Every structure is written in structure tokens, then in C-alpha cells.
Amino acid sequence: MDTRSLAHPRTPTEKPKTAPCAGCRESFPRRELVTVHEGRHDGLHFFDGDSVCKPCARRSRVTF
């Protein structure tokens, strides 16, 4: 049975197009955020997997 037919027709199926920055908490389009990876940050400001905007990444010396 197709499970998509059970969902309400107005239920969103896509991810939101914006997300908050882990540094400044402002909302940015997802394509403009940088994902912090292991070994590419100093470990003091962000955790692995956090999404940060480019100004916060530069300020905290996250390489992207």
C-alpha cells in the first residue's frame, strides 16, 4: 500500500527552506549555511554537524 495516500493533502513533505544559524540564531536559506565537520573547527564554539552562516564560520575559524 502506498503510504503517501494516507497523508493529509496539506501536510508538508519538504524540508523548510530556511534554518537557524548555530552561532547568531538568525534564519538563513539552507544553501547558504555551512555544516561543521570533524577536524575543520577548533571545537570551542560549535559541535560537529552544526549549521552556521558564513560570517559566523569565518569569525570562529571554521574552514569551508
Rg (CA), the chain: 16
56, 40 in Cβ contact below 8 A?
no
pTM (two decimals): 0.69
pLDDT tens across 3-41, in order? 555 666 676 667 789 999 999 999 999 999 999 988 877
pLDDT of residue 12: 65
Q: What is the pLDDT of residues 32-59, one digit of tens each?
A: 999 998 887 776 788 889 999 999 999 9
18 forms bridges with which residues in the sheet? 29
d(C-alpha 29, C-alpha 36), whole Å: 16
In the chain the first and final C-alpha atoms are separated, in Å, by 43
